[in-house]
A and B are shown apart, each in its own frame.
Chain A
Amino acid sequence: MSELEEPLRAELTVEYPFTRTTGTVIGAFMTGLREKRLFGIKRSDGSVLVPPLEYDPVSSEPLTEMVEVSQSGIVETWTWIDPPRPQSPWDAPHALALIRLDGADTSMLHAVLVGSPSEMRTGMRVTARWKEERVGHIADLEGFIQETEETDS
């Protein structure tokens, strides 16, 4: 190979069309999303994990009591995404935040759909925005928006 020759290169794609079985607990969480409801699971000390897990992360004991939590909560921490990656579910710049819903003791990762990072702050209150068509997938939850008196429920 000549030193001056341009190296060969090619854009390659690896793709696996997985279907994942959910089990009872995650399945119930997904079913809830389809019904515009958010569910967590109760630990033995009464604290609530959202999203739910099948086992206690500390004691490993099986968890069985699912409970509904609020659709609103607070932003615990966040980062600004601009531009979103090509495979992102979101086309526009947005925040990715850890959101602790009222009634939950853990936070879940999701988008906060605001126009600019100046509209974001740690501790702000947000509320869920749902898609019209829902299939039982995390993307049924389009994201969270700032909670106002109107959105407050």
Chain B
Amino acid sequence: MTDPNSPPASLSQQVKIPESISGLEPVRSVRSPIRLVYDFVPSPPVQEYLRSYSKKKILGHRSPIDGAVFVPPRGVDPRHGVLIEESVELSDRGHVGNFCVTHLPIPGRDDLDTPYVSAWIHLDGASVGFLGLVAGCENDEVHIGMRVQAVWKKEEELGNTAENILFWKPTGEPAVPIEKAGNRAWDQTNE
């Protein structure tokens, strides 16, 4: 048997390339895009969540075990494996828990001008963050703990979608201290 730690043949031994192609520029890579088109039907809690967006409301789910609030609502508390039925309406304000400045364009997202900032937005009243874009300030002004609020689409453009929130802009309020920002506060309560 071959030692599994030995390098591949193409590195350790000379692969004998037939003469008819040995002098040619070899193929070194192939494009193999993967694409899946599917019909998405959200679960009942997510249906309710998406419909609420058209009224500019953000819904969460409150755990019956310890009152933790999840957004988006999934109908369960995944930590305890229990069903959640209690919905909570959340504020459209919160703070940046973590963020990332992206300099490379995403194929298929020509609407995103680089560099842009994506962030985990921790809404007031929510125990977990969810993903959003931060704009309305310079990218280098974005920081962990920065208070933000949703910038919604115009009334006539609202649909049953999270895309109703165009981005999150700074409110100018005092920042959440870094040790309490994002999931850091969550970790402390649970220790």
Chain A interface residues (CB < 8 Å from chain B): 1, 7-25, 27-28, 30-32, 34-35, 37, 39, 54-55, 59-68, 86-87, 136-137
Contacts and interface: CB of A to CB of B under 8 A. Distances in A.
Interface string B4-27: 000011101111111011001111
A8 B50 contact: yes
B123 to A, nearest CB: 22
B160 interface: yes
Contact of B12 (A9, A12, A62): A62
B36 A22 contact: no
Given A30-B27, A35-B20, A62-B13, 17 more contacts: A7-B42, A12-B39, A13-B36, A13-B38, A14-B35, A15-B34, A17-B107, A20-B31, A21-B28, A23-B10, A25-B9, A25-B10, A27-B27, A30-B30, A39-B21, A64-B16, A137-B31
B133 to A, nearest CB: 19
Nearest to B7: A62
A24 B149 CA distance: 53
Given A19-B30, A35-B20, A68-B18, A11 B39 contact: yes
23 contacts: A8-B41, A8-B50, A9-B39, A13-B38, A15-B33, A15-B108, A16-B33, A19-B32, A21-B28, A21-B29, A22-B29, A22-B30, A23-B10, A24-B17, A24-B26, A25-B9, A28-B18, A34-B27, A35-B20, A55-B9, A61-B2, A62-B2, A86-B37
A65 to B, nearest CB: 5
B30 A136 contact: yes
A21 B18 CA distance: 20
B24 A64 contact: no
Contacts of B20: 35, 37, 68
B47 interface: yes
B51 interface: yes
A37 B17 CA distance: 13
Nearest to B10: A24
A63 B2 CA distance: 12
Given A32-B21, A60-B1, A61-B2, A18 B8 contact: no
B33 A20 contact: no
Contact of B16 (A18, A19, A22, A65): A65
B92 interface: no
A11 B29 contact: no
B41 A27 contact: no
Contact of A87 (B14, B16, B18, B35): B35
Contact of A9 (B24, B32, B41): B41
Contacts of A25: 9-10, 15
B36 A15 contact: yes
Nearest to A60: B2
Contact of B35 (A13, A21, A23): A13
Contacts of A31: 21, 24-27
